[in-house]
Structure 1
Amino acid sequence: MEQLEFFSVPSPCVGVCTVDEKGYCQGCMRKREERFNWLNFTPAQQRHIIKLCKQRYYRKRLAQRNVIPVTQVDNEEDLPPQGNLF
């Protein structure tokens, strides 16, 4: 059973509506369908999307700090294993 919500979950939009090379909004890190269907999602789904956006943001920042840019990696075996997201 879903928890009763007293307040709506605010949109994470920050008004920077441009898309990066992976298809994520550079302002809020949402995917296209997450942006377009925001009002159709339940509050629980909206909170989950916000959690995913934070994870995407931190992964992007981490990739920018690495010595080898992700675009220059030849194969997937050179990438570090992905940690548990939950």
Structure 2
Amino acid sequence: MQQIEIFEIPSPCKGICEVNNRGYCKGCYRSRDERFSWNSFTNTQKKKVIELCQQRYKRYIQKQRAATKAAQPEQQGFDF
């Protein structure tokens, strides 16, 4: 049995509206097509886009952490 959607799924827009070097919005992580087509998507399509955005955000955070860790100088031990 399929569950009926009663409420519309809101846009994940954060109002930042800048694009990163991969073409994804820096605020919501949607592609250009996902942003422009949002209002014509079904609720199922919107849920899929939100899932993809969450995956993109997680990858972004992982890359940021790796870059931060790589930029930190190694702890130097002192021999006394």
TM norm. shorter chain > 0.5: yes
For 2:66, the aligned partner's letter is N
RMSD: 1.7
Q: CA deviation at 1:3?
A: 4.0
For 2:37, the equivalent position in structure 1 comes to 37
Any gaps of 5 or more consecutive residues in structure 2?
A: 69-80
- Report the count of equivalent residues: 68
CA deviation digits over 1:20-68, x for unaligned, max 9? 0000000000000000000111001101100110110010110111159
| Structure (1 or 2) with the greater helix fraction | 2
For 1:79, the equivalent position in structure 2 comes to none
In structure 2, distance between residues paired with 1:12 and 1:67: 27
Calculate the TM-score normalised by the size of structure 1: 0.73
Any gaps of 5 or more consecutive residues in structure 1?
A: 69-86
Q: Which of the two has higher C-alpha Rg? A: 2
